[in-house]
């Protein structure tokens, strides 16, 4: 087990890296994850279930038979679970379930327009948003009422990614535009060639951050002005901002497993990287100070807080003072 710690921290097995990683066989084919309440929730598409895992032990607490593909978001004591068909099959579309994070009970089932296509759900301090390649829905979280619906213009191409902002959503389109979506409607920004066919994954410190062709692209979230571009591998799945560092999960050619990179938010400089001891990891979340990875083989891999702190400390040790500020 110490060798697994070394794979993620970059320390030698004799370096005293701390507690080992945990590997849990909980399902068949795991996908999206979310942390809500004290638990971790993960979509098991192989068994068409949503799993509720204890946030400390990883023990399976419940299995909800909601469907094959489920997009997840957590906000204000609730877990939001969207049934969707995938980016290629594109059906079914909905419903959206609200689940009480404390009890694990489904408290509301919200039907969605079956003629529309949906890719994801986002939840924060305010509204809940469901978005797809052409259609966006805003939902009042307590009542479950749909309060607004928006349709993207055909000129910009399909929406490829969306993230929360304080005043609404920021979305990327196939032709490389950023769309600001809020109470005023959809406000398109200028076309940015570097964002063409990119998937928007996060906004951090004024940068809109997107994955394209196995790398990261950063542009000014307000103007679309290019900031930096960083090639990494052949797949980028998840991006978690951490105090000026982007924890980036994906895969690179010729590696013995998947990989996590630490990238400086301001400059795009690569600060550190480490192997994740598994192929086919599908998502990554932060929960309880640790990192949780889901795999297509039905495993959950948990890097405990001590391991994550070591990895971040190694990244910050290579970060220039002006980049850390």
- CATH at 45: 2.130.10.10
What is the 3-state composition of the chain as percent helix, strand, coil, each rounded to the nearest 5?
10, 50, 35
pLDDT beyond 70 at 18: no
Give 179's strand partners.
Answer: 171, 188
pLDDT at residue number 15: 34
- 216-255 pLDDT, tens digit each: 999 999 999 999 999 999 999 999 999 999 999 999 999 9
Q: Which single residue is written with the structure tokens 């902002």? A: 165
pLDDT at residue number 324: 53
Q: By the 8 A CB rule, do 229 and 268 touch?
A: yes
Q: Which single residue is written with the structure tokens 């929406």? A: 159
Average confidence (pLDDT) over 161-188: 93
Confidence of residue 183 (pLDDT cuts 50, 70, 90): confident
Confidence of residue 299 (pLDDT cuts 50, 70, 90): very high
Distance CA(151)–CA(19), nearest Å, equals: 49
Count of CB atoms situated within 10 Å of the CB of 40: 26
Mean pLDDT of the chain: 91
Give 171's strand partners.
Answer: 162, 179
Distance CA(34)–CA(248), nearest Å, equals: 16
Question: Which own/partner contact pairs does 99-105 have at CB distance under 8 Å and 24+ positions apart?
Answer: 99/36, 99/64, 101/36, 101/37, 101/39, 101/74, 101/77, 102/37, 102/77, 104/39, 104/52, 104/61, 104/62, 104/64
* Structural domain count, the chain: 1
Query: Which tokens sit at 34?
Result: 């979310």
Domain encompassing residue 126: 2-324
Phi first, then psi: give them for residue 121, nearest 5 degrees.
Answer: -130, 140
Confidence of residue 10 (pLDDT cuts 50, 70, 90): low
Lowest mean pLDDT among 52-66, 180-194, 256-270, 294-308: 180-194
pLDDT at residue number 5: 53
pLDDT beyond 70 at 6: no
pLDDT at residue number 8: 67
Lowest mean pLDDT among 9-23, 108-122, 196-210, 238-252: 9-23
Query: Which tokens sit at 215?
Result: 């790398």
Distance CA(94)–CA(64), nearest Å, equals: 16
Q: By the 8 A CB rule, do 168 and 181 touch?
A: yes
């Amino acid at each position: 087990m110490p060798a697994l710690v070394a794979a993620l921290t970059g320390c030698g097995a004799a370096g005293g890296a701390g507690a080992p990683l945990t590997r849990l066989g909980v399902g068949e084919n795991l996908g999206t994850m979310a942390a809500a309440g004290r638990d971790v929730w993960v979509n098991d598409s192989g068994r068409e279930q949503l799993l509720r895992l204890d946030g400390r032990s990883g023990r399976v607490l419940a299995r909800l038979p909601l469907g094959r593909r489920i997009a997840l978001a957590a906000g204000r004591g609730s877990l939001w679970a969207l049934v969707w068909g995938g980016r290629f099959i594109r059906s079914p579309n909905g419903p959206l379930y609200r689940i009480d994070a404390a009890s694990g009970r489904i408290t509301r089932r919200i039907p969605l327009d079956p003629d529309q296509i949906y890719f994801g759900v986002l939840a924060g301090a305010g509204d809940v948003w469901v978005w797809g390649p052409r259609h966006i829905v805003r939902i009042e979280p307590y009542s479950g009422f749909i309060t607004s619906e928006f349709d993207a213009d055909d000129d910009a191409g399909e929406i490829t990614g969306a993230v929360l902002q304080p005043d609404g959503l920021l979305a990327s389109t196939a032709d490389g535009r950023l769309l600001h979506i809020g109470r005023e409607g959809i406000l398109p920004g200028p076309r940015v060639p570097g964002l063409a066919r990119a998937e928007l994954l996060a906004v951090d410190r004024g940068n809109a951050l997107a994955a394209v062709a196995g790398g990261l692209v950063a542009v000014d979230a307000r103007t679309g002005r290019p900031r930096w571009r960083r090639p990494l591998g052949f797949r980028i799945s998840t991006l978690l901002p951490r105090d000026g560092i982007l924890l980036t999960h994906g895969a690179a050619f010729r590696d013995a497993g998947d990989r996590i990179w630490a990238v400086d938010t301001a400059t795009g400089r690569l600060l550190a990287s480490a192997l994740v001891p598994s192929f086919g990891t599908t998502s990554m979340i932060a929960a309880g100070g640790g990192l949780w990875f889901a795999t297509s083989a039905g495993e959950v891999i948990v890097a405990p807080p001590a391991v994550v702190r070591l990895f971040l400390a190694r990244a910050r040790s290579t970060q220039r003072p002006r980049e850390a500020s």
